Copies of this chain bind each other. A is one copy, B any other.
Amino acid sequence: MTQRKNAEKITDAEWKVMHVLWDRGRLSSNDIVTAIVPETGWSPNTVRTLLIRLTDKGILRVEKKRGKEKDYPLCFYTPLFSREDCEAVHSRSFLERVFAGDASRLLAHFVNESSLTPEQIEELRAKLNDL
């Protein structure tokens, strides 16, 4: 729950970093930089700043390694929260903020706007049946 509190504070720019880490697991800062810079056009330093901030917030864990005494000192980062946890926290606050808590309207909106594939529609139907 204290965790949840921290997990709440992921900012727009930081989400990009988190998605990379959730997709690919523990990564060196360089891996993260090379994954993110082309897509965003950010400076590598910007990415590193975000990594530091996420670490300070307790959302990432950092390990400083120096391989076999041959490599540069490198930082490896690992998420301390699952993607699902973070999504859940932010989803709740989004629901409250924008839809004033009315999940039904939120769902209606996304169903209408999302151009779902037939398979996705079927999946969703199945989920509704499971309720």
Contact = CB atoms under 8 A, between A and B. Distances in A.
Interface of A is mostly: helix
A95 interface: yes
Contacts of A100: 19
Chain A interface: which size bin?
Answer: 35 or more
Given A91-B98, A131-B116, A110 B109 contact: no
A107 B87 contact: no
A107 B114 contact: yes
Contact of A110 (B15, B86, B106, B112): B106
Interface of A: 12, 15, 19, 86-88, 90-92, 94-95, 97-100, 103-104, 106-114, 116, 120-121, 123-125, 127-128, 131
